[in-house]
Amino acid sequence: MQTEEQLKEIVRQKYSQIALQDKDDNMASCCGAGGCSTEVYNIMTDDYTDIQGYNAEADLGLGCGLPTQFAKIKNGNTVIDLGSGAGNDCFVARAETGEAGKVVGIDFTPAMIEKARANAEELGFNNVEFRQGDIEKMPVSANVADVVVSNCVLNLVPNKAGVFKEIFRVLKPGGHFSISDVVLVGALPEALRQEAEMYAGCVAGAIQKEDYLALIPAQGFTNVVVQKEKPINIPDDILQQYLDAAELTRFKTGNTGIFSVTVYAEKPAENCCTPGGGCC
């Protein structure tokens, strides 16, 4: 398997290519961005079209859920979107937080940042900004966000525990996150796990569901809830590119499941009780 930096570079290059094409190109061609993982993205994608704030130009069809739908965003909130892409989830969040709030999108692909900024300018949104950076080390101060959202991004990051640690840092006490991601139950075939295209397509980078969920309270979060879960079935014509007939049969008849989950958790509010007695 590649090193963490090699994996990050695979993702950066892949998503730079995708940023230069529109959603129709992604959906029309299995190999539209130089590899067939574009097809995998669209197998996972949920439909945004009826959600307030949706902008077709910002939707590249790369998500695996609708985290903003479950994020309990309130008017005036500050929201951070991790792996913001062309800005789709940021613009949906902006519809919830209103002009009184603020939305910050973070992405480490320069081409995506450029595309998102152009979309925000065209929409005239002055309270939505996009910052280039690594979500393992966010370009954001501590204790600034009311809500953090992310859509099918943490599975692309080798150090998932480090991202949850950063989410805890940037959230205000009492803040929360809602994140959609891909997880596994059972082991992927080695050919899929080692394939760079499947990593960029959000499959090979997924970890076991129970391990993923265990990372969250380990960083101090409470009230962890799986808000939505759905199975993801990769078609045979994609799997056949990586598995022979016997491997495909074992995979299809085995106990391995690939799931999209949307997970919610809270950063505890500050406790101003003193050891000697009394609470304020």
Residue 258 reports pLDDT greater than 50: yes
Is 30's pLDDT higher than 90? no
pLDDT given at position 201:
54
Longest dimension (CA), the chain: 69
pLDDT digits (tens, 9 = 90+) for 226-243: 999 998 887 787 788 878
Cα distance between residue 266 and residue 223, in whole Å: 6
Instruction: Report pLDDT digits (tens) over 165-209.
Output: 999 999 999 999 999 998 988 887 777 776 655 645 556 678 899
Average the pLDDT over each of 4-8, 100-104, 208-212, 245-249 and give the range with the smallest value. Answer: 4-8
The per-residue pLDDT for 256 is: 83
Domains, the chain, in order of start with CATH, read 4-265 (3.40.50.150)
Q: CB–CB of 38/18 below 8 Å?
A: yes
111-133 mean pLDDT:
95
- Give the integer Cα–Cα distance in Å for 69 and 92: 9
Q: What is the mean pLDDT of residues 67-81?
A: 96
Can you tell me whether residue 102 is helix, strand or coil? strand
* Per-chain mean pLDDT for the chain: 82
Closest CA to 39 of 269, 253, 235: 235
- Residues facing 135 on adjacent strands: none
Pick from 8-17, 28-37, 124-133, 155-164 the range whose average pLDDT is largest: 124-133
Mean of the pLDDT values across residues 40-62? 72
